[in-house]
Chains A and B, each alone.
Chain A
Amino acid sequence: MADASSLPRRILKEAQRLQQEPIPGIAVEVSETNLRHFFVVVEGPRGTAYEGGKFKLELFLPADYPMAPPEVFFRTKIYHPNTDKIGRICLDVLKDKWSPALQIRTILLSVQALMSAPNPDDPLRENVAEHWKTDEHGALQTAREWTAKYAK
């Protein structure tokens, strides 16, 4: 296990609480080599095209956290207009809406909410968003196929 003494108390406390009171549908595991590095598995929210899938994410707390937001990436392929090919996520609280009042917990909840409510009007992948807008049924079908194929 990495040395925890140099780690800000806030990060330790957040990590502790994530273990003690886990977020429903989200599993968080701290990296053994870097305590700022988290492996996350989000279950596809029920009633969405991602239902039944297990989506792996990585979350990293930069040196100036909590003044700067955490960095979060999807590590499982997902068909979603607000993500890109390499797993980056377009989410306001990860950018200009970040505030130190937010935490890892709230960020992960936001990611989960984004999966339930894709926003094709503010897209990261133009073609996926276009698909969503012109043929939502078809887009959801593709999303379900991707979930079945990649998020097992």
Chain B
Amino acid sequence: MIERAKALLDVRTEEAEALLSHFSYDFEAAATAWFEDTRKVRETSGLIDAKTRRENSEAAMSSGGTRGCGICFEDFPGDALTTVGCAHEFCDECWSGWVTSKVNDGLSVVNTRCPMCPAKVPESMIRKFLSDEDETKFDTFLRRSFLENNAKLRPCIGVDCECAIAVEQLPTNPVSVKCNCGAEFCFSCQSEPHVPVNDCEVAKKWMDKINSDGVNSEWMLANTKGCPKCHRPILKNGGCMHMHCSQCHCSFCWLCLGPWDSGPYACARRCNKYSGDKTGDENRRKRARDSLERYVFYYERYRAHEDASKKAEQDVERFKDSVLDILIDLQRTSKQQVVFIMDALRQVTECRKILKWTYAYAYYEFADDQSKKEFFEYIQGDMERCLELLSRMIESDIKPFLPPEPEDDEQKQNVSPPSTLTDELQDGKYQYAPEKQESLENDFALYKARLIDTTAVLRKFTDTLVSEMAKGLLGARNIDKTD
């Protein structure tokens, strides 16, 4: 990129570096701005043009052999003073002091300017005046700045991971990327992947919401009432039925949510009288509660799939560590023959993650478009049913092919480490009679075929859901037409 910039813009290497850094490593942007108004770009990025450079140097020459350093005011022979090309010359010691203080200031060191004017100090010069230790710091900052400013690069969010992930082209929709260290994140917002929710803002809004009141919403639903005017949830904090909303300052009766009459000091509607008609405020109250209930509905499902996806991830590890080996042993088969279970498990994990986000999506997306909502719930339902089927097949239907589980907890604790199980297997404890072994092997072949099938179907349902969501559920219209 630097070579390309040098050739096209006709600048020196250090200028190309500075320019690209100034334009966040966006070559096109740098080139466009450069050709539009070279002088302005030079000014803002602190690059001095050749003519000014020459003039400054001639002016310095003509002012004599011994000149003063602009910082320490000591006199030096002219060749002991350094400038970045502007009219300000400093001695080595002062330059060293300046760049060292900049390195200790932090990330901004990559954009170090002359102490007296905006002229940019090139990287090579910063290095020249830094101690080895500070140069290491500088390298770190340079790397960080490169990563943070380059739109096509993202540092991995994994703990202690020093990798970065690069894309060739900026994704139009958020994509989930996975680092070699195992960490997975959304390339655009660098937080938990939220495919198929395509808007990082929606994902963030949802995360903020569930983190702020997710835990409390059930409690709130049971213990609070929505303010009849502003619908904020209100908790009764005293014995009196006269409620005063601290947000919108309206006064109302806790029992019927009607207005409060402060004259005779009672509920204005005299709600001790049963009328049986639910109008006005009652409806408003219902709306406030509905909105909470709606949130809890989506939140519970989001949460359940999140927990299930974590469980599925643990299953992947468990199968990898022990269960597969047991299966291979018991079914007298090879590793290649049982890989299908891992495929299925990974599919389950992935689908759970996708499914949980579909609930966040649904919470925000369907305010009024009923046909889209129905269409969405239809394909979401397909996927969810298939997922549950596959999940059950892995968890329960596999049991006949595995050694019987210990019955009570005490026993479980004694035999639970996988190594013990394998040892016992080698002792032949779980050997079956030959005819039973044969029928089991047949069943296993059937089970395998079903599992592979179901995995494929689930994959298809998932792809449909994800691609429909990416298209904004346009499929809903087709359904309407065919109806």
Contacts and interface: CB of A to CB of B under 8 A. Distances in A.
Interface string A36-80: 000000000000000000000000000010111000000000000
A99 B115 contact: yes
B71 A100 contact: yes
B309 interface: no
B70 interface: yes
B262 interface: no
A13 B71 CA distance: 11
A8 B70 contact: no
Given A99-B115, A99-B116, A101-B115, A9 B97 contact: no
25 contacts: A8-B72, A9-B74, A10-B72, A10-B73, A10-B74, A13-B73, A64-B97, A64-B101, A66-B71, A66-B72, A67-B97, A67-B98, A68-B101, A99-B115, A99-B116, A100-B71, A100-B94, A100-B97, A100-B98, A100-B115, A101-B70, A101-B71, A101-B88, A101-B115, A101-B116
Contact of B101 (A8, A9, A10, A67): A67
B347 interface: no
B103 to A, nearest CB: 12
What is the size category of the interface that chain A forms with chain B? 10 to 19
Contacts of B380: none
Most A C-beta atoms less than 10 A away, residue of B70, B72, B88: B72
B100 interface: yes
A106 to B, nearest CB: 12
B97 A10 contact: no
A129 B329 CA distance: 78
Given A10-B71, A13-B73, 16 more contacts: A8-B72, A9-B72, A10-B72, A10-B73, A10-B74, A64-B101, A67-B97, A67-B100, A68-B101, A99-B116, A100-B71, A100-B97, A100-B115, A101-B71, A101-B88, A101-B116
A151 B74 CA distance: 39
Interface residues of B, number: 14
B460 to A, nearest CB: 58
Contacts of A10: 71-74
A133 B70 CA distance: 42
Interface in B91-112: 94, 97-98, 100-101, 105
Interface of A: 8-10, 13, 64, 66-68, 96, 99-101
A24 B70 CA distance: 25
Contacts of A68: 101
A50 to B, nearest CB: 31
A10 B72 CA distance: 5
Contacts of B73: 9-10, 13
A95 B98 CA distance: 15
B324 to A, nearest CB: 59
Contacts of B101: 64, 67-68
Contacts of B98: 67, 100
Contacts of B115: 99-101
Contacts of B72: 8-10, 66
Contacts of B88: 101
The 4 A-B residue pairs whose C-beta atoms are closest, nearest first, are A101-B116, A67-B97, A10-B73, A100-B71
B244 to A, nearest CB: 27
Contacts of A8: 72
A67 B93 CA distance: 11
A56 B73 CA distance: 29
Interface in B352-372: none
Nearest to B72: A10
Contacts of B70: 101
A64 B98 CA distance: 10
Contacts of B74: 9-10
Interface string B101-139: 100010000000001100000000000000000000000
A66 B98 CA distance: 9
Nearest to A98: B101
Contacts of A101: 70-71, 88, 115-116
Contacts of A99: 115-116
Contacts of B71: 10, 66, 100-101
Nearest to B71: A100
Contacts of B94: 100
A13 B73 CA distance: 8
Contacts of B105: 96
Nearest to A12: B73
A15 to B, nearest CB: 11
A101 B71 CA distance: 7
Nearest to A8: B72
A68 B71 CA distance: 12
A8 B71 CA distance: 11
